[in-house]
Amino acid sequence: MKISEENMIEHQDVFGEGKRAVTDHGAGEYPRNASRNNMRHGTLRCMTFIDGSWLYHNQDMLVKAHGGPFKIDFNKINMVALRFLRQYYQGILPYEPLPFDLVRTYYYASVPFNVHPEDALKLEDQRKFYNILSEQLGFNLVLHEIDFRGHYMAMQDRITREGDANFTPKERTIDMALGTDMLYFSAIHAFDIAIAVLGDADYQPALERVRQLGKRVLIFTIGGSAAYDYIFPKPNARFSDFPAMRFQDYLEDLRLVPKNEREKPMYKYYCARCGKEFESTYKAAPKQNMYCDEHRIWRNNFSNGADENGRAGTAPASNTDAPPEQAPSMEEIARESLIATGLDAEKE
């Protein structure tokens, strides 16, 4: 749902001055504590709520849309969403909107236990993934245990290996936990905008209540795996304030780039001999002399011992070798040049 420019502007002014908030569901007194917080920090606070189980079970839709293997870089979800919000506000406001502050990211998922012994490695991989989200990305994890009663974790394994297609693990608590937390943080005015990464229609009542508390909601979902109303909201829909974002529209931005495809960073240096600026993928140690291509070859030859006539040694050309202990004189450099051109023959 797209709110009017008039309402958006007055709502934006509230963040800066703490007056009355007018939203598309009516006017109301904006919480004083939230107003003071925004005046102090000068930001629009966002919190992200990710239904991890739903996202995991629907990644096949992204693989299909990408036309090949695809993994989500979870560190980029917030970056893409915040960029969308910034562009959206800039498109409808006559002035520069306040900067966005990502307060927290909550990730909701399940943790299997009592699984088939052959799935022990899969379970360990899942736990490592959760550790990455928590320790490296700073996500707040909300995990709920699911008893698999000794069955395989994957449905296909339960059918082919056990011949049992009747057992289905239950994950009902995840929807309730996410909706409850979103309402709680809305009630204590912990954020201004909720970024909801989800797709189930069961969230609609909670999203509506969040907006009734004066907050705004952005839905980030997967086309084909989301409730129809999220993608195509009715005119009287009350669960979102922005056009829904679809993962399929941001595949390249969200893709986890394999290590072998990542570009190595380039570092700038100045040659220790001629002062010429150059770039290299090698990261030098502190106070290490670096040389351009021309003088790096000469430096390696000199540091590895030239013959009595000053002819080159056999050391490989590399910026990783230690620099020579004593720099050569200009006469020695000239001598090397003469040798290379064949003009060093002594006159009789």
Integer angstrom CA distances of residue 168 from 52, 59, 61, 128: 18, 19, 21, 24
Residue 163 lies in a domain: yes
Structure tokens at 32: 């004083």
Q: Are residues 139 and 235 in the same domain?
A: yes
Residues 201 and 294 in one domain: no
Q: Are 7 and 28 in contact (CB under 8 A)?
A: no
| DSSP collapsed to 3 states, 20-62 | EEEECCEEEECCHHHHHHHHHHCCEEEEEEEEHHHHHHCHHHH
**Residue 251 maps to a domain:** yes
Q: Is 36 exposed, middle or buried (0-12, 13-18, 19+ CB in 10 A)?
A: exposed
- Burial code (b: 16+ CB inside 10 Å, e: under 16) for 322-337 equals eeeeeebeeeeeebbe
Do 281 and 136 belong together in one domain? no
Q: Going residue by residue through the chain, which has 348 residues, state the pLDDT in tens, using 9 for 90 and above.
A: 443 333 333 333 323 333 323 333 333 333 333 333 443 446 899 999 999 999 998 999 999 999 888 999 999 999 999 999 999 998 888 877 778 999 999 999 988 888 888 888 888 888 999 999 999 999 999 999 888 877 777 777 777 767 666 777 777 688 999 999 999 999 999 999 999 999 999 999 999 999 999 999 999 999 999 999 999 998 888 999 999 999 999 999 999 988 777 777 788 899 888 988 888 878 888 888 888 877 776 676 655 554 444 444 443 444 444 444 444 444 554 455 444 434 444 434
Asked if 177 and 314 sit in the same domain, the reply is no
CA distance 192 to 217: 9
State whether 282 and 328 are in the same domain. yes
Distance, CA of 306 to CA of 301 (rounded, Å): 6
- Strand 44-51 versus strand 193-197 pairing type: parallel
In a domain, 347, yes or no: no
278/336 Cα distance (integer angstroms): 23
Cα 143 to Cα 127: distance, rounded to the nearest angstrom: 11
Separation between Cα atoms, residue 195 and residue 213, nearest integer Å: 15
Structure pTM?
A: 0.65
Q: Which of 260, 285, 319 is the last residue of a domain?
A: 260
Q: Answer yes or no: do 245 and 312 share one domain.
A: no
Same domain, yes or no: 79 and 124: yes
Residue 293's identity, in one-letter code, is: D
309 and 216 in a single domain? The answer is: no
Answer whether residue 212 is part of any domain: yes
With 0-12 CB in 10 A as exposed, 13-18 as middle and 19+ as buried, what is 82?
Answer: buried
- Bridge partners of 217, per DSSP, are 194
Q: Do residue 163 and residue 301 come from a single domain?
A: no
How many other CB atoms are found less than 10 A from the CB of residue 78? Answer: 20
What are the φ and ψ backbone dihedral angles of 127, each rounded to 5 degrees? -65, -35
For residue 269, give the H/E element and its range. Answer: strand 267-270
Report if residue 44 sits inside a domain: yes
Strands (E), 97-254: 100-113, 140-147, 193-197, 216-221, 245-246
**Angle, alpha carbons 78-80-85 (nearest 5°):** 90
Count of structural domains, the chain: 2
Final residue belonging to a domain, choices 209, 241, 260: 260
Do the domain assignments include residue 348? no
43 and 192 inside one domain? yes
Same domain, 23 and 53: yes
40 and 178 co-located in one domain: yes
Domain containing residue 322:
267-341
- What pLDDT does 91 receive? 85
What tokens appear for 215 in the block? 């907050």
How far is C-alpha 216 from the geometric centre of its chain's CA atoms? 22
How far is Cα 240 from Cα 215, in angstroms, rounded to an integer?
10
**CATH assignment of the domain containing 224:** 3.40.50.1010
User: What is the C-alpha separation between 54 and 222, in angstroms, rounded?
Assistant: 10
